[in-house]
A and B are shown apart, each in its own frame.
Chain A
Amino acid sequence: MDIGFLAQYLINGLMLGMIYALVAVGFTLFFGVLDVIKFSHGDVLTVGAFAGLATYLGLQAVGISNPAIQILIVVIIATTSVAGLGALIARYIVMPIRSAPPLNTLLITLMLGTVLRESVRLFYPQGANPQSFPSLLPTQSLTLGNFNLRLDNAIMLIAGVMVIVGVQFLLNRTKLGLAIRAVAQDEETAKTMGVNFTLVVLITFALGSALAAFGGVMNGLYYNEVNFGMGLLLGVIGFSSAIVGGLGNIYGAILGGFLFAGLQTIGAVSLPFASAYKDVFAFAIVIAIMAWRPTGLIQEKISERV
C-alpha cells in the first residue's frame, strides 16, 4: 500500500488515540485518588462539548468573530465550567458514599452519566439531533502525494500532546502533583502529613473533568459535529483504555488510549467489510484482556484487609 495512504491511516489513528487518551487519563486520575470508577466521565465530555458549542453561539451573537479569539474563549469556558461541574460531582455525589462498596459509586456515577446525557438531550434546544460544531481552526490542507493533512488536525494533535505533557509535568514536578500522588498512594498517611484531602480530591476531579471537556471540544472540532450520545461510547472506550493500561497509572492510560485507537484502525484497515466491526473487535479485546489480566496490563498492586 502506498506510503501516503499508510500515513493517512496513521494520522487518523493518532487523532482518535489522542481523544481516547485524554478521557482515559481522567479515569485513571479519579481511580488513583479515590478508588472510584466515575462512569459519568464520558457524559461530562459531552457537557463540555456542548458548553463549547453554546459559548461559540453566544460569541457569535455578541459579535466576536475572530476565530482565534473564539477558539481560545470556547476552550477556556468549556474547560473551566466543566472543571467546576467535576468538583461539584466529587463533593456532593462521590465523596458522601465513599464508604459504601465501590459498586455503589459505579452505579451512582453511571446514573449520573445518564442524567447528564438526558439533560443535554432534553434541555438543549434540539438536543436530540446532532449539532454541527463550527470549524474554528484554519482548514487549509497540506497535500503530499496521496497524503492529505489538514492544518486543523495537525494543530489539534500538537495541542493534545502539549496538554498531556502538561499534565505529566503537573503531576511529577509540582507540589500539587506531589499531593495528588500522595493521596493516591495512601490516603491516611497523606492526611497525617498535612495534605488537605478534600481539596486535593476536588482539584483532581476538576482537572480530570477539564481534560474531558478539552477532549470534547477537540472531538467537536474534528468531526464538526456533536451529539448527546457521543460521551457514552467515548467514556467506555476511555475507561477500557485506562483498564488496559492499568487503573491508577497515567502512562498506562495514555498507552491504553493509543493502543485502543490502533486496534480500531488496524481492524478497519485489514478486515475488508469491517469498519463497522471495529467497535466489536475492540470491545472483544477488552473483555479478553480482562480475562487474562484482571486488573489491567500494568498490574495494580492490591492488598486487601481481610
Chain B
Amino acid sequence: MNRVRLLATVAFGATIALAATVPNTTFAKDKVKVGFVGPLTGGVSANGIGGRNSADLAVRLRNKDAKAKYEYELIVQDDECKPNIGVQAATKVAADKDVIAAATHYCSAVAIATVPTYHKFGLPVVVWGAVLPAITYGNDYKEVHRVNGTMINQNQIAAKFMRSLGYKTWAVIHDTTDYGKGHNEFFSENLAKEGGKILATFGVTSDQQDFTAELTKIKELNPDAIYFGGLTPIGVRIRAQMDKLGVDSLLQGTSGIVSDAFIEGAGKLAEGTVAFREGAPTEKLPGGKFFLENYKSEKYDNPPEAYGAFAFAAMNLILDTIEKEGPDRKKVRDALNKVKGVDSIVGEISFDDHGQNTVALITKYVTQDGKWTVWEDSEYASGKRKLARQK
C-alpha cells in the first residue's frame, strides 16, 4: 500500500476517533422539559398554533419569573389532527424520559387514540381542547386530565335553545371520527328529549370534498336546520355548497367551527351561522384580559383562537404542579389528580375522579358581520336580524 494511502487511512482513523469523543451532552441541572401536542399543520392548524403560542406564553412568563425553581423548555410536537400521527407524536413526547408532563391535543379523534399511549409510558397530561367525553370518562387511567369541558353540555344547551327558537326539523351531517360521531350521539339524544325531529343523518369523511350528493338529498327533505358535527374545513365546504345548490336551511355547528378560520373560509356566506361552545369567550374569562394583553405583547403571528386560553391554563397548571412537586412524573400525576378549586385564567379548576374539570357555562355564538358574536349581544337576539328559517 503506497504512502499516500497509508497517510489517508491514518488521518481518517484519527478523525473517527475524534468524532467519537464529540457527543457529551451536559444539561444545566435545573432544566425541566414540558410537552405540547397539537395540530400545527392541516385544516385546523389555526387552533393548534394558537394553542401552542398560548402554552409557549405560559412557559415564557414562568421563565421570566425570578421565583421559579426551574428553567422550563417547551417540547412541541405536531399531531396534524390525524390519529396515527398523534400516536407517533405522543410516543415521541412520552418516551423521552426528560419530559415531565404535557398539554395535549385539540382534535378529539387524536386525543382518544393517544390515551393508551400516555398511560403506557406514564406521562401525566392535561387536555386543552378536545371535547369528546370518552377521553376522560372512557377509562380509569390516572394520567389523563382535561381543563376544557366536554361536548355533552354543549349539545344539551344547543337542543334546548334551537327548539326555543322554533326550529322543528333537522338534517345531521357529521364526520366519521369519534368526534363527529360523539356530537351526533349527544345531539340526537338531547333533541329527542326536546321533541325535535331528525329527518336524516349523513356521515362524511374528514377530508371529503364534494357534498353535492348529501346536500341534494337534504334539499329534497327540506329541514329547518342542518346540524353539523365536525371541524372547520368541512364546515366551510358545506356552507359554500349549500349556497351552490340553493339549500336555505340554517347551518348550526358545534365548537369545531367556532374559529376565525371558518369566517375567513366561508366569507360572506358565514353570516348567520349558529354554534355553541363551552366556556366564556376569552375576553370575558376571569383572567381573559391578562392573558390577551400578555399574548399581544409577545407579538405572535397568529391569534390564540377559541381554545388558546385553555392551553395557557393547562400549561400553567402543569408548571405550578412541577414547582410544588419537583420534576417527577409520578408525583406530578398524583398531585394533578388532587386538584380542587385551583385558580386559573379560565376560572376555578377542579378535577373530578376521572380528571375532568367542570366548565358549566355554555356560550351561544352567531356569526355577525364577520365575527363570532355572543348570541345575547347580537342583533339576532334583539330581533333586528333574522336567522334562516327562524319562526
Residues of chain A in range 138-178 having any CB-CB distance to chain B below 8 Å: 141, 143, 146, 148, 150, 153
Contacts of B244 in A (CB 8 A): 148, 150, 153
B213 touches A275 (CB 8 A): yes
B205 touches A129 (CB 8 A): no
A128 touches B267 (CB 8 A): no
Residue B361 lies at the interface, judged by CB distance under 8 Å to chain A: no
| Known pairs A8-B245, A130-B43; A269 contacts B213 (CB<8 A) | yes
- Which of B106-114, B132-140, B214-222, B337-345 lies on the face that meets chain A? B214-222
Residue B240 lies at the interface, judged by CB distance under 8 Å to chain A: yes
How far does the Cβ of B89 sit from chain A's closest Cβ, in whole Å? 16
Contacts of B209 in A (CB 8 A): 223, 225, 230
| Known pairs A12-B212, A276-B203; A128 contacts B41 (CB<8 A) | yes
| Known pairs A5-B220, A132-B265; A276 contacts B42 (CB<8 A) | no
A129 touches B216 (CB 8 A): no
Contacts of B267 in A (CB 8 A): 132
Interface string of A113-128 (1 = CB under 8 A from B): 0000000000000001
Contacts of A1 in B (CB 8 A): 220
| B42 partner, pick from A8, A129, A275, beta carbons under 8 A | A129
Contacts of A304 in B (CB 8 A): none
| B216 partner, pick from A12, A130, A143, A153, beta carbons under 8 A | A12
| Whole-angstrom CA separation of A8 from B245 in the bound complex | 8
Contacts of B208 in A (CB 8 A): 275-276
Residue A292 lies at the interface, judged by CB distance under 8 Å to chain B: no
Residue B45 lies at the interface, judged by CB distance under 8 Å to chain A: yes
Residue B233 lies at the interface, judged by CB distance under 8 Å to chain A: yes
Contacts of A130 in B (CB 8 A): 43, 233, 236, 265
| Whole-angstrom CA separation of A71 from B303 in the bound complex | 33
Q: Quick one: closest B residue to A224, CB to CB?
A: B240
Contacts of A8 in B (CB 8 A): 212, 216, 219, 245
Main secondary structure, interface of A, reads mixed
Contacts of B202 in A (CB 8 A): 275
Residues of chain B in range 253-294 having any CB-CB distance to chain A below 8 Å: 264-265, 267
How far does the Cβ of A28 sit from chain B's closest Cβ, in whole Å? 24
Contacts of A9 in B (CB 8 A): 213, 216
Contacts of A5 in B (CB 8 A): 216, 219-220
How far does the Cβ of B264 sit from chain A's closest Cβ, in whole Å? 8
Q: Quick one: closest B residue to A152, CB to CB?
A: B244
Contacts of B212 in A (CB 8 A): 8, 12
Residue B69 lies at the interface, judged by CB distance under 8 Å to chain A: no
Residue A268 lies at the interface, judged by CB distance under 8 Å to chain B: yes
Interface string of A1-17 (1 = CB under 8 A from B): 11001001100100010
| B204 partner, pick from A132, A146, A276, beta carbons under 8 A | A276
Residue A273 lies at the interface, judged by CB distance under 8 Å to chain B: yes
Q: Quick one: closest A residue to B269, CB to CB?
A: A224
How far does the Cβ of B45 sit from chain A's closest Cβ, in whole Å? 6
Q: How many residues of chain A get a CB closer than 8 Å to chain B's CBs?
A: 28
Contacts of A273 in B (CB 8 A): 203
| B219 partner, pick from A146, A150, A268, A269, beta carbons under 8 A | A146
| Known pairs A5-B219, A148-B245, A225-B237; A129 contacts B45 (CB<8 A) | yes
Residue B210 lies at the interface, judged by CB distance under 8 Å to chain A: yes
Q: Quick one: closest B residue to A1, CB to CB?
A: B220
Contacts of A278 in B (CB 8 A): 213
Residue A265 lies at the interface, judged by CB distance under 8 Å to chain B: yes
| Whole-angstrom CA separation of A9 from B212 in the bound complex | 8
A148 touches B41 (CB 8 A): no
Which of A141, A224, A230, A275: most chain B Cβ within 10 A?
A275
A268 touches B213 (CB 8 A): yes
Contacts of B237 in A (CB 8 A): 223, 225
How far does the Cβ of B209 sit from chain A's closest Cβ, in whole Å? 6
Residue B383 lies at the interface, judged by CB distance under 8 Å to chain A: no
How far does the Cβ of B97 sit from chain A's closest Cβ, in whole Å? 31
Q: Quick one: closest B residue to A134, CB to CB?
A: B267
| Whole-angstrom CA separation of A143 from B237 in the bound complex | 22
| Whole-angstrom CA separation of A146 from B244 in the bound complex | 13
| B246 partner, pick from A132, A148, A225, A268, beta carbons under 8 A | A148
B205 touches A2 (CB 8 A): no
Residues of chain B in range 145-171 having any CB-CB distance to chain A below 8 Å: none
Q: Quick one: closest A residue to B200, CB to CB?
A: A272
Task: List 5 A-B pairs, minimum CB-CB distance, nearest first.
Answer: A148-B246, A268-B213, A275-B213, A12-B212, A128-B41
Q: Which residues of B contact A (CB under 8 A)?
A: 41-43, 45, 176, 202-205, 208-214, 216, 219-220, 233, 236-237, 240-241, 244-246, 264-265, 267
Interface CB pairs A-B, < 8 A, 19: A5-B219, A8-B245, A9-B213, A9-B216, A12-B216, A16-B210, A128-B45, A130-B236, A132-B236, A146-B220, A148-B245, A223-B209, A223-B240, A223-B241, A224-B240, A265-B213, A273-B203, A275-B202, A275-B204
Q: Given known contacts A9-B213, A12-B216, A223-B209, what 10 new A-B pairs fall within 8 Å (CB)?
A: A8-B216, A8-B245, A130-B233, A130-B265, A223-B210, A225-B209, A225-B236, A275-B208, A276-B204, A276-B205
Q: Which residues of A contact B (CB under 8 A)?
A: 1-2, 5, 8-9, 12, 16, 128-130, 132, 141, 143, 146, 148, 150, 153, 223-225, 230, 265, 268-269, 273, 275-276, 278
